[in-house]
Amino acid sequence: MPLPAARPSRVVIENVRPRVDDGRYPIKRVPGEPVEVTADIFADGHDRLAAVLLYRDAGAAWQQEPMRPLDNDRWTATFVPRHVGRGAYTIEAWVDHFRTWRKGFQKKMEAGQDLSVEFLIGADHVQKAAVRARGRDQQSLEHWQKELRSETASAEYKSRLALDAELLRLMERYPDRENAARYEPALEVVVDPERAAFSAWYEFFPRSTAREAGKHGTLRDAARHLEFVAEMGFDVVYLPPIHPIGTAFRKGKNNNPESLAGEVGSPWAIGAAEGGHTAIHPDLGTFADFEHFVRRAKDLGMDVALDIAFQASPDHPYVKDHPQWFRWRPDNSVQYAENPPKKYQDIYPFEFENDDWRAMWTELRDVFLFWVGHGVRIFRVDNPHTKPFAFWEWLIADVKSAHPDVIFLSEAFTRPKMMYRLAKLGFTQSYTYFAWRNHKAELTDYLLELTRSDVREFFRPNFWPNTPDILTEYLQSGERGAFITRLVLAATLSSNYGIYGPAFELMEHIPVAVGKEEYLDSEKYEVKSWPLDRRDSLKPLIARVNQARRQNPALQRTHNLDFHDVDNPQLIAYSKNSPDHSNLIVCVANLDPRWTQSGWLRLPLESFGLDPARPYTMHDLLSGEQYSWFGPVNYVELNPGKINAHLFRVTQGA
């Protein structure tokens, strides 16, 4: 085995955290969100070490932060990314010869040993640092080394110089890093816009927004509907596909494989004579109407999210112009989408294992870039787990290289490892299993997985209690308490959540059949006329929940979640605290949508920063009521006939 080309460093850097798959994928943050980095750093022998955390924002120069030792050779430091884009971080460490000498010098001095040679060794260290220094620092170090070499100065005087704190500060400023070890390759951090970490989504179908019942709505109608959405406090408005809908094998009402004349079909059957993924359904309007919609949303403080579904109706121009992009069967028909026993004859999936894959990848990437050009920066991607991982990794990186503020939401209800892989390779947010987690243990275990494991570094959950495809058994009970519980849980457990409306606020709950999770008379297949002014609508409550989220920083992150003991399995309790501990929120929810539940809640007052010997106030942000509590254990009772959750802001006077 040949000798190394250069003298190896004595320092070992390993077990760096956070790190996703040994650095194969980046971690995720938003501007201002700290990254606490830890690592095992050690060397042979007993020499003192020094280490710095190196970090940089996208396109910026490296900066550094000194690392401090913890215990058992573990070191730590924190940096805060400031700008959207792809940054990096790593660690550099070296043997600190001056600190090693200083420690030994102090021991010898305390032992009363002769220090004459030690003064000269120290002077040599200081002189080398002076060569690296500049300006007044260089002059100061030159003076120090001369004084340490002085033959006339007393040993007592030179000992004080050797241990002077100012000398140590200067030496740390100009260390000898010639033989430093550096962790390679540098780890990456993707810094997304704030909306990636904190958002409230509202999904609706533009075609159901006409003022006249039964009439097909337009994008202008949808723009007028935005005020209704804004009144509830949402900041992302999400539209299902707005493209032309195919006529071949068009689905009828309730997913009937045969449609009647005048039936509108599913928006996910994309493509017709009027165009495909870069066209707008003529009944919705024009690009001028769409751009008006985007501007109106911005005026109301909302971003527009657009659904991207990479599939084609039999009438899509791609089928004629690029037949090689689809799978042809021996009978010369195209393979339509299937999930036996379900058949989706109105949808052709793309065949990614085709010889023209480069052209297809480029074309599909350009679909995103097209809508970015029309003001869209957020995309909900339909079924990404049915397309190659390599495709998404390339596409997302390519789009974000030019537009780092773009957000991708992964709609993949599939196996956990697949969902996590999609998040690792670039998806900004992800749908989750939240809709099917109903019991306390299920919710607690799932949230701990998302917030306490390494998953937190790359997977941002977006909680949806319902979607146009998902009407869970829990909501099918039709109980008002069920909808309130799921709303409060989604909006407070996760800092990103969404609802499909107006179905949610109007508590739509009738399935197409027993045992099915699909809506009866689903809006996916017909134009609906919603009674938005219904007196029992949850709209006022939704507005209060979103107001609480906006006004309380503790609710604007997911990973600051802690669960608390309550002696009733039907009650779940948890808290969130802001980074500076100035904003404390405690939520208690009744998981039983029918019956009143009560119990004794125990809170860790000391860890909250509360004085257990004094009362504290629980301000309910949902009901407006206030309660004076004393001590760690207090009684709670929640009646679904009134409101099924408490959302407390906790305060204690000075």
By the 8 A CB rule, do 489 and 433 touch?
A: no
Write the DSSP assignment of 569-600 as a string of letters. Answer: TTEEEEEEE-TTS--EEEEEEE--SSS-EEEE
Q: Is the pTM of this model over 0.85?
A: yes
Bridge partners of 647? 587
- pLDDT for residue 49: 97
What is the rounded distance in angstroms from the CA atom of residue 288 to the CA atom of residue 271? 20
Given this model, what pLDDT does residue 418 score? 98
Which stretches of the chain score pLDDT less than 50? none
382 belongs to the catalytic site: yes
Q: How high is the pLDDT of residue 88?
A: 98
Find how far residue 76's CA is from the centre of its chain.
23
The CA distance from 342 to 512, in Å, is: 15
How many beta carbons lie within 10 A of that of residue 93, not counting itself?
A: 25
Domains and CATH numbers, the chain: 11-96+179-191 (2.60.40.10), 98-173 (1.20.58.80), 200-310+357-556 (3.20.20.80), 561-651 (2.60.40.1180)
Are 26 and 48 in contact by the 8 Å Cβ rule? The answer is no
Joined tokens for residue 202: 């509202």
Q: Which member of 33, 118, 315, 411 is catalytic?
A: 411
Structure tokens at 366: 């350009």
Q: Measure Cα distances from 317 to 273, 304, 325, 328, 450 in Å.
A: 7, 26, 12, 16, 42
User: Can you give the three-state secondary structure of 219-268, one letter per residue?
Assistant: HHHHHHHHHHHHHCCCCEEEECCCCCECCCCCCEHHHECCCCCCCCCCCC
- Pairing state between β 85-95 and 181-182: antiparallel
Q: Which of 522, 541, 539, 542 is nearest to 531 (CA)?
A: 539
Q: Which of 176, 221, 235, 382 is catalytic?
A: 382
Q: What is the pLDDT of residue 343?
A: 81
- Give the containing element (helix H, strand E) for 42: strand 35-43
Provide the pLDDT for residue 653: 81
Give the integer Cα–Cα distance in Å for 508 and 483.
Answer: 10
Q: What is the pLDDT of residue 654?
A: 63
For residue 411, indicate whether it is catalytic. yes
Token pair in block for residue 197: 């970490």
Distance between CA 525 and CA 265 in Å, rounded? Answer: 5
Q: Which of 322, 313, 317 is nearest to 347 (CA)?
A: 313
